[in-house]
Amino acid sequence: MFQSKLISKMAKLKLYCSVIRPVVTCACETWTLKEAITNRLMAFERKVSRKIFGPTNENGIWRIKTNQELDKIIKHKNTINFIRAQRQGWLGHIERMQETRMVKAI
């Protein structure tokens, strides 16, 4: 589906952000982001992004997009930044909880 030319690139990107990313980052607020996990998540996202945006044609020569080009296209809204934002949001919820709540005590 991500390689289909019948669906626009922006529609594919919205589909990824609304369906696939939430599944991949389920309960990410409680994760410990180690470098190995970060690298695997970024590799997965780059694979999906390359399927969505396809190769680049420069002077009749096709090549895959670089990591920097993909990062610029998605405007630095990658999975790691999403996870960090989710964790900060969860921290805000915990700060506002009553002291008697189990999560706040932990």
Which pLDDT belongs to residue 48?
94
pLDDT band at 73 (very low <50, low <70, confident <90, very high): very high
Confidence band, pLDDT 50/70/90 cuts, at residue 60: very high
For residue 3, being part of any structural domain is answered with no
Token duo for residue 104:
């706040």
Q: How far is 62 from 76, CA to CA, in rounded Å?
A: 24
- Contact (CB, 8 A) for 31 and 51: no
Residue 49 lies in a domain: yes
In a domain, 85, yes or no: yes
Residue 4 lies in a domain: no
Q: Which domain holds residue 55?
A: 9-105
Asked if residue 1 belongs to a domain, the reply is no
pLDDT at 70 over 90: yes
Question: Nearest CA to 13 among 51, 66, 40, 42?
Answer: 51
Q: Examine the pLDDT at 96 and tell me if it is beyond 90.
A: yes
Residue 2 lies in a domain: no
Counted domains in the chain: 1
